[in-house]
Amino acid sequence: MGGDLRVARMGFGAMRLPASTRGGPANDRATVLGVLHRAVELGVNHLDTAAFYQQHELAANELIRTALHPYPPGLVIATKVGPSRGPGDPYPTGQLPASGLRAEVERNLRELGRDQLDLVYLRPGGLDTPMEESIGERFSVLAELREEGLIRHLGLSHVGLTQVEEARAIAPVTAVQNRFDVTRPEDTDLLAVCERDGIGYAPYFPLGGFGIPDDERVTTVAARHGATVPQILLAGLLALSPVMLAIPGTSSRVHLEENMVAADLRLTAQDLSVLRSRP
């Protein structure tokens, strides 16, 4: 990513470390610290986190620092800024203004124990926020922090092509993180732009989001390979484009190890034809 960050295509998303479900009880601390250790043992060198990934007394950034600091050479940690979370909110519901982004970047630096953040995504709004709004003012703040050396590379999350073009006129965009999985490939135009221009594409909810999709196309391919549905969802993503980076999240060591196997699955042209067929 960005010409100088070499990452394995199967990474790890930290959203489910504090709690396995949105608004659910906090996970067992020792268990999720063990999951992080195991992820690195299995070759993960790309972690995706955010300061607002927090549930009750557990916070993803603190767990990552406790488990892995001092960080192994080559470990890339990406984080996100933009959403705001009010007191008592189970998840972010608002947006930080441009004036609040520096403090959020500094919070991530402090919590992760780093002098520079490898990759910072600007995420404007939440899942239901229209993606047509201007992001220039907020992205400019992050561009300034990049010039100061606090951020190495910049990315965008939950955005449309217009916003990507607006941001690229201000500073280089290294990666995009939009919702995408093989059962709902609705962002193909932006993915094509990323592929053309060498921009990493690391979709959130690569396993469907709030529950594994019940999709006959995926189960057909899974049966052919003797694989699980999540493994085919991940392998299918990686087969779509060379710039695709998977960041499945889990608080389970069993699921982590299952996900990692997907990086070695090789889908055939017939498999891909099935996955791309109309449901």
Q: Which residues are catalytic?
A: 53
Among 154, 85, 174, residue whose Cα is nearest residue 126: 85
| H-run or E-run covering 62 | helix 60-68
Alpha carbon distance 40, 90 (integer Å) = 29
Q: The tokens of 22 are what?
A: 């949105």
Q: The tokens of 136 are what?
A: 């220039």
